[in-house]
Each structure stands twice: as structure tokens, then as C-alpha cells.
Chain A
């Protein structure tokens, strides 16, 4: 894992979909991850995708991977107030995770 970049802030209305984007540079990454950190809490693994997949759906979460462009996105359907948190994109390489700076998602009523 090398550099992982993501936008810093996202504001979304309750009930709408959220899309968080991430780019990475390590083409050898075998897995890519999304972690969530709620205020004052630790890191929670939300979902992950194997690098030979294009898409993975898990309830309200959809992960899209464009390996050619090294672009990863997380879509949260029907965003709720409990989804307000920092979301970190991460890739795995060289026996460790490399994280982005995190996207702070704020859900407004």
C-alpha cells in the first residue's frame, strides 16, 4: 500500500445516498477496505473488496472498484443520522494497511 487519497468532507441530506470516493496508487493491492470511525470511537471495518471484483453489495453499502483507474467508492443508500462519521479508505500491501485521511460525512435533517 502506498498513497491513498480521498476527499475530506461530505454533507448529505437524511434519506439521500452518499458516495465517498478514494484513489490509491499501489496496483498490487489485493484487498481494499472501508473503515468507519464514529465520534470518540475506534475503527470499525465496514466492508472490503477483493481486487478482482468490480462491485460488492452489503445491505445499504455498495463498493465499486475500478482497478484500471485505481478508484474505489463507497455508496451508502438511504443515509441515516447514525451514518455520520469519518470513513477511511485503505489498501493492503507489504503486510500492512495504508489509509487515506478520511472523509467526514455529516448527515443533515
Chain B
């Protein structure tokens, strides 16, 4: 069974440009999460989808970030326009419980490493 896959694995863009990150969850997982880690800081929650609906987007930093999950399968996270402080690694995770009772059922991807110059 394929794990959570993310694309691109690495991206270097200039300030002001747009980047779109993609996440393919494990097949059949209703829950999809985006997290971010900027250098040396904690891994911070961005948002949580249940199927195509945004369950919790309290961690989204500002309106330059837009997440979508049309059809409840893969998800995209767009940053437009990118700023220097957006650099970091963006993790996607998925889980298969309707009501996840513990994080042991949440599986992470390898991350998309974004550098804004």
C-alpha cells in the first residue's frame, strides 16, 4: 500500500512567486492534515480536512495560503505570493478514522521542502 506522497519534494522560488504543493493521502483516508516546520521551530498545525471539508483551519497563517481538497482525494496547498518567512518544510498527513482517537493512526509524508529567496 502506498504511503502519503507529497510533491514537489524540494522547491526554490523567488519572493513574490506562487508555489503549489500537492499531497496524495493513503487511499481511503478521509482525514488529511497539513503541518509546517520553519527552521529550528516546532512543527505547527495548519489545517485539517475531513473528506473535502475543512474541519479546522485555525493554523493557517494568513490569506496568502489556500488549501483545497476537491473531491476528497488529493489536496493542494498554494502560497501566493510567497514571502521569505514561508520557507520551511511542509508536511502532509492522513488518517483513516472518522473520529481519530489517537495520533497513532496518522501517517506522515516525506515533506515538501520550500525555500523562498
Contacts and interface: CB of A to CB of B under 8 A. Distances in A.
Interface stretch (A12-20, A58-66, A68-76, A99-107): A99-107
Residue with the greatest number of chain B CB neighbours at <10 A, chosen from A8, A42, A97, A99: A42
Interface residues of B, number: 26
A41 B91 CA distance: 11
A102 B43 CA distance: 8
Contact of A95 (B41, B56, B109): B56
Contacts of A4: 42
Q: How large is the interface on A (under 10, 10 to 19, 20 to 34, 35 or more residues)?
A: 20 to 34
Contact of A96 (B41, B45, B99): B45
A45 B104 contact: yes
Contacts, number: 63
A27 interface: no
A88 B99 CA distance: 24
Given A43-B91, A96-B48, A96-B56, A102 B102 contact: no
Q: Which label, helix, strand, loop or mixed, suits the secondary structure of the A interface?
A: strand
Contacts of A42: 91, 108-111
B43 to A, nearest CB: 4
Contacts of B43: 43, 88, 90, 99, 102
Contacts of B71: none
